[in-house]
């Protein structure tokens, strides 16, 4: 009898306990906030980095990157110029007009070279090239020092003498090569030594004349400047 009366009460109490536990679990889950993966990752990285320190590119690295960029662009420009030159040269080589003009320039030179291909010609050419080398070399060194001591200096004259020296050297090289291939000039020590001696003497003579002419030109410029200053002073008075 007692159990019959207590059974509904015990069932009600059991449902009440289960209801309370279920509500409490929902409240606990509701209180927990969902974790954002992006914010958690940033927070982790912020914790790993030391406070007050930020990564920045070093100045040396920036300069190296700029130099590499300039180098690459320069190489690209050089390659482009080479390709363009090759294209232009190929077009000129394939042009009939260019072949005709080239033959017109070279034909008289070939004819003259064949006509004068004897040992005496190479002797004269060798002596002339030696004289040019000696003259312009002395003019560049001793002659310019003599002018500088007198208070003068001419950059254009230095360039002219340098050009003459280079032309004389190239002419001497190719004269020797041509004489070796087309004559017996280089096989004769007497011919080579006599041509070199004549060239040395002639070169020294031309050097003296060139130095005297340059000094006279310097004195003439000074005299003209003095006359101009005198005329200007008379005009101001």
Mean of per-residue pLDDT scores for the chain = 76
Specify the higher pLDDT residue, 92 or 4: 92
pLDDT of residue 101: 86
Least confident of 1-15, 57-71, 120-134, 162-176: 1-15
- C-alpha to C-alpha distance for 140 and 3, rounded to whole angstroms: 137
Every domain of the chain and the residues it spans = 62-104, 117-236
pLDDT, residue 215, reads 84
pTM: 0.58
- Give the model confidence (pLDDT) of 114-160 as tens digits: 787 777 888 999 999 999 999 999 998 888 888 888 877 778 888 98
Single out the residue of 182, 175, 165, 75 nearest to residue 123, CA to CA.
175
């Amino acid at each position: 009898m007692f159990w019959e009366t207590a059974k509904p009460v015990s069932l009600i109490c059991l449902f009440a306990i289960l209801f309370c536990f279920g509500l409490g679990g929902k409240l606990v889950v509701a209180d927990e906030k969902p974790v954002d993966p992006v914010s958690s990752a940033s927070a982790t990285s912020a914790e790993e980095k030391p406070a007050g320190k930020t990564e920045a590119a070093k100045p040396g690295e920036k300069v190296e990157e700029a130099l590499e960029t300039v180098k690459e662009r320069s190489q690209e420009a050089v390659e482009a110029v080479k390709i363009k030159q090759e294209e232009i040269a190929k077009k000129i080589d394939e042009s009939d007009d260019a072949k005709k003009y080239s033959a017109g320039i070279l034909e008289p030179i070939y004819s003259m070279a064949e006509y004068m291909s004897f040992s005496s010609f190479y002797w004269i050419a060798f002596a002339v090239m030696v004289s040019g080398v000696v003259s312009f070399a002395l003019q560049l060194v001793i002659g310019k020092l003599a002018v500088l001591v007198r208070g003068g200096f001419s950059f254009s004259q230095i360039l002219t003498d340098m050009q003459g020296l280079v032309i004389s050297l190239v002419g001497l090289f190719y004269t020797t090569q041509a004489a070796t291939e087309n004559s017996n000039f280089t096989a004769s020590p007497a011919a080579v030594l006599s041509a070199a001696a004549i060239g040395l003497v002639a070169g020294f003579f031309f050097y003296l004349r060139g130095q005297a002419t340059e000094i006279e030109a310097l004195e003439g410029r000074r005299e003209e400047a003095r006359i101009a200053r005198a005329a200007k002073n008379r005009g101001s008075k």
